[in-house]
């Protein structure tokens, strides 16, 4: 079955489930029904492989086989049928493992790999994986702070831009200013800041986060992924899976992201299965759905798919 037919089948199933999720107060049917939703932040892995996995650690609640069928089981009831996978493993060949997984799982529309732009082999590696159109870019972390002082890093970042690929960034507020400077220096590079810029608990937002997000928002090539809301609150000593469910709790984060990035540069991502640290897939979906529904249908359509397509540019079908 080709990707279009596969997604059509899933969409039909999702349509049948919309009435069920109304009981969860997701959003009213006139807002969420009949729109394509792309979850731009999932992780898939299989600890039962002979080589195992470098993440998550044994003994963790996340240490289990997590495949597209498992994600679809929790996502389809909310009308979510497509995903961009983000690689958390630092093993080079795990990039290929996800690309191979995508061949058999048409719900995967894009993949953000794990490569180091400072490595001497980076040009060959990124060209190898980008030969597959599902490969859309890479994710990096705190090494952004070294951008100005690392010629090899600069060349790697410039290569991403030249190839039309994007850069996901996952790191603390301390790197936001440096990320904004890099975005200004390489304006052709699309940058996606993960997890609302690592805001942390909505009740304890820092001045550094506020100012850093404002700096990022001033760069037109920077997008913000609204993800990891519930598990970041879970880091504040709450019991596993028991973060607040009320959208008003998260409004200090969501309102500032809206002020900084607006309607056209905010993107949906669940961070499943890691989001389970704060609550279920449904919990996080309800929160963001309610918030963006209040911004109108155009904002909903952009947040749940349009802005993601602009940032990742996967081969659409």
Is there a contact between 212 and 197 (Cβ–Cβ < 8 Å)? yes
Superfamily in which the 3-312 domain is placed by CATH:
Metal-dependent hydrolases (3.20.20.140)
Q: What is the pLDDT of residue 216?
A: 98
Q: Concatenate the DSSP letters of all residues of 279-305 into one string.
A: S-HHHHHHHHHHHHHTT-HHHHHIIII
Q: Please say if the pLDDT value at position 61 is more than 50.
A: yes
Report the residue count for the chain. Answer: 317
pLDDT band, very low/low/confident/very high, at 149 (cuts 50, 70, 90): confident
The strand pair at 135-140 and 190-193 is best described as unpaired
137 DSSP β-pair partners: 112, 166
Q: Which segments of the chain does DSSP mark as H helices, in order?
A: 3-22, 29-32, 68-75, 92-104, 122-130, 151-162, 176-185, 195-198, 207-217, 229-234, 247-261, 281-293, 297-301, 307-312
Q: Please say if the pLDDT value at position 105 is more than 80.
A: yes
Is there a contact between 134 and 105 (Cβ–Cβ < 8 Å)? no
Alpha-carbon span 301 to 140, nearest angstrom: 28
Alpha-carbon span 285 to 306, nearest angstrom: 17
- Which of 126, 222, 140 lies closest to 181, judged by CA? 222
Q: What is the pLDDT of residue 22?
A: 39
Q: What is the pLDDT of residues 225-276, one digit of tens each?
A: 999 999 887 666 677 777 899 999 999 999 999 999 999 999 999 999 999 9
Q: Which of 80-97 are b and which e, b meaning 16 or more Cβ less than 10 Å from the residue's Cβ?
A: bbbbbbbbbbeebebbeb
């Amino acid at each position: 079955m080709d990707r279009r037919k596969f997604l059509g089948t899933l969409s039909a199933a999702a349509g049948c489930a919309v009435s069920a999720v109304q009981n969860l107060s997701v959003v009213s049917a006139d807002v969420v029904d009949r729109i394509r939703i792309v979850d731009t932040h999932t992780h898939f892995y299989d600890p039962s492989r002979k080589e195992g996995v470098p993440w998550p650690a044994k003994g963790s609640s996340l240490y289990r086989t997590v495949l597209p069928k498992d994600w679809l089981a929790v996502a389809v009831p909310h009308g979510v049928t497509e995903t961009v996978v983000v690689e958390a493993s630092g093993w080079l060949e795990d990039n290929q493992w996800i690309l191979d997984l995508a061949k058999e799982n048409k719900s995967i529309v894009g993949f953000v790999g794990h490569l180091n732009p400072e490595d001497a082999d980076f040009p060959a590696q990124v060209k190898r994986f980008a030969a597959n159109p599902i490969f859309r870019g890479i994710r990096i972390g705190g090494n952004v702070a070294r951008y100005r002082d690392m010629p090899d890093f600069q060349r790697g970042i410039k290569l991403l831009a030249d190839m039309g690929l994007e850069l996901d960034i996952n790191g603390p507020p301390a790197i936001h200013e440096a990320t904004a400077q890099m975005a200004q220096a390489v304006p052709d590079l699309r940058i996606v800041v993960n997890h609302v810029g690592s805001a942390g608990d909505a009740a304890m937002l820092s001045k550094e986060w506020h100012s850093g997000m404002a700096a990022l928002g001033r760069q037109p090539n920077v997008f913000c992924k609204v993800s990891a809301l519930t598990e970041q609150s879970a880091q504040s000593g709450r019991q596993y899976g028991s973060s607040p469910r009320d959208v008003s709790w998260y409004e200090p984060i969501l309102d500032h992201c809206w002020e900084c990035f607006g309607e056209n540069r905010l993107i949906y991502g669940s961070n499943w299965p890691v989001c389970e640290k704060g609550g279920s897939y449904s919990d996080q979906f309800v929160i963001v759905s309610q918030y963006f529904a209040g911004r109108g249908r155009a904002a909903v359509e952009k947040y749940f798919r349009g802005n993601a397509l602009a940032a990742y540019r996967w081969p659409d079908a």
